[in-house]
Structure 1
Amino acid sequence: MAMSVGKEDGDDVPMSDINTTPLVDVMLVLLIIFLIAIPVVVETVPIALPKTAYEVRETKPENVELTVRGGPGDTCEVYLGMTPIDSTALLDTAVARLEKAIADVGGADNLTDETMPEVHIRGDVGTPYKCIGGTIFTMQRAGFARVGFVSEPPPGSTVTRM
C-alpha cells in the first residue's frame, strides 16, 4: 500500500481519504459466501415433533405398570407392580395379560383403542437407556402397541385436564 504525502503543487499535508473499495469488495465476497453456505448448513430433515402437555391419564385395570431402574454392576431392574421380574418372565406375563385382555373383549376383532391395554413405564432419572429400551422391546414383542411413560411435571407447572 502506498500513501500519498501531498499534491504536486507543494502542499505537504498528507491525504486523509481512505480507499474503501477493497473493504467493500471483501465484504461483498463474504456476503456471497455466507448466502451460499448458510442454507447448506441449516438444512434439516422435516419431522413432526409431538406437542408435550401434561395430561392426567386414567389408570385402567388392564394396563401394565412397570418400573425400570439401573441396578448395581450395570444391570437393569424391572418391577411389575412391586415385584422384581426378569425379561423372560416379563415376556411370558405380558403375553398372558394381553391374551386375557383380548379374550375379555371377545376376540381381537373387538379390540379398539379404548379397550387395548397400555404399558406405563416409570423410569428413574439415572436409568440407562438400554434398560428402558429393552423393556419397551420386550413389551412390543409381547404384542403391546401402546407404550407410555409416567413422568412427574416440573415444580410450579399446572396440570390441565383434557
Structure 2
Amino acid sequence: MAFGSFDNKSNSHAMSEINMVPLIDVMLVLLVIFIITAPLISHSIKINVPQVSAEPVEQEPKVIDLAVNEQGQMFWNEQPVLLEELTPRLKQEAATDPQPQLRIRADLNTRYEILAEIMGSARLSGLKRVGFVTRPSENSAAPAGEAGESAPGATAPSAAPAAPDS
C-alpha cells in the first residue's frame, strides 16, 4: 500500500515520511501516567514488621443505669442509692479506664432540682459521658404524655373525670 499526496503530478513514488503525531500522543499519555504513578512507587519503604498472633481486644463499654422515680428515689443499676452515696460512687467509676457511660432514666414528673444535682455531681466527679434515656412518642406531633406511652419508669397519667353534659 502506497501513501501519496493529493498532488496528481507526483504519484509515481511512495511517501517516505512517518506521521509523528500519533506517536507523540502516545508518548504524552505515557508521560502523564508515569508522572502520576512515580510518587506512589518512590515513597514506599520496605520494612520487615514483626508478626503477632494476638487478636485485638474488644471491650464492651460499661454502662451505669441511674433511674430516678417521681419521688426522687435513685436506683444505681436497679439497686437503691442515696444522693449522699452517689458522688463517691461516681468518683470511683470516673477513675476507671475506660470511663463508663452514665445513663439517667428519670420519671416524667421528677423535679428538675434532683436532675440538676445528679448532673452536677457527675460533672464534679469527672465523668465525661452522661446521657438521658428517653422514649420517642408514637406520634411526633403529640406531646409525650398523649402518645399512649409514658417515659421509662414513669407512671401512667391518671384520667381526669369527664364533665357532665348539660
RCO greater where, 1 or 2, for CA within 8 Å and sep 6 or more?
A: 1
- Which structure: larger Rg? 2
The alignment's TM-score, normalised by the length of structure 2, stands at 0.44
The alignment's TM-score, normalised by the length of structure 1, stands at 0.45
